[in-house]
Structure 1
Amino acid sequence: MTSRTPLFVAALALAALPALASDDCDAPVERWQSREAVQQMAASQGWTVQRLKIDDGCYELHATDAQGRSLKAKVDPETLQIIKIKQRKERRRDQRRDHEERGDAGAQAPAASPSTPDAPAVAPIFTPGATPRARIE
């Protein structure tokens, strides 16, 4: 063995450590704290909980903080320690709805212009029940 082999093995072992780390919870269900306890912990943080569910053996909650920012937190069900927390981005669906409520023109689809009798009829691209055809040139 060369003198570099142990160093190489140590580097590989250190590189594998993050793969072993996990944000899953493995506490037995009988040691879990109640959902009400999670709600109280969130309230003590100044959060308003919109959704509380179980994911990967942990409590996962979607909430808003005191400043109104959306967040997602993963909480250990036994100790109620926050394992992971991240700020949630506003969903496109919510943004679209907000734009429509305010009447922003950019968020709404343009209205179809009424067809005039002089306009040429456009054949549909697909006809229901028709056999697909292709032409290679």
Structure 2
Amino acid sequence: MKRYLLAASIVLAAASSAAAGAKATITYDCEIKVFTSNGWIAPRVLVMWDEQSETAKIYDGYIHDLVGEPIPATVEKRSETSYNLDWRVSDIPVSNARTKVDGLYSAVLNMKQNTLSIRGVITGFDNAPRGKGKCIVKKG
């Protein structure tokens, strides 16, 4: 697991540099403190925010491993400084079982405080993984 997280961090660093270069894109590079011990929330999450269209793409270690590229999020304005972001990651392998599950994620991106709060719902599990972190802002 530690090797996976290290490799994902290296890939995320490269992806954040590439995303920061895009015009009208702001990358929120967020270090997430996970509040639950059951996993499912990545310790580092990138939100690529397109200022012109007010759209977002999400990228983390799980998405990198399963999809290979950032995935779009559904965006809903929450306030003048924050947005609700929703995305789905399908076919996440369960480490202690021979099965795969889907992760439904909701987050609040606060652009004034540069924070990201994440909640997850994992199909077939009663747990409610969540985390929150500060983000470094990289403008393109």
Tell me, yes or no, whether TM beats 0.5. no
Say which structure is richer in strand. Answer: 2
Bin for the TM-score computed over the shorter chain? 0.3 to 0.5
From the CA coordinates, give the structure whose radius of gyration is larger: 1
TM-score of the two chains, using structure 1 as the length reference: 0.34
TM-score of the two chains, using structure 2 as the length reference: 0.33
